[in-house]
Amino acid sequence: MPDVDVCGLVCPEPVLLVKRRIDALGEGAITVLADSEAARENIKRLATGKGWAVRIEEQDDKYLLTLTK
């Protein structure tokens, strides 16, 4: 199970949910499952902007993002 599942959600909800997790955690690792290019790119921009490293794997037609700091 990913920590945050944003599949089926449109902006800004995916970014908001990931931001809340990032803010709560401070540092560590978070996995996010997204199913749209828009959510993938917006989450990537949020996370890198906050100094987290982002790794993206494609799974079927979804994206698993691993954020680490």
Asked if 6 and 18 touch (Cβ cutoff 8 Å), the reply is yes
Tokens of 43: 């989450």
Q: Which C-beta is closer to another protein: that of 26 or that of 47?
A: 47
Among 17, 28, 23, CA closest to 67: 28
Specify whether the CB–CB gap between 14 and 44 falls below 8 A: no
- The answer to the question of residue 27 lying near another protein (CB under 8 A) is no
Is 7 marked active-site?
no
Q: Using the rule CB under 8 A, which residue among 13, 27, 57, 68 binds another protein?
A: 13
Residues that bind another protein (CB under 8 A): 1-13, 15-17, 19, 35-38, 41-42, 45-46, 48-49, 51, 61
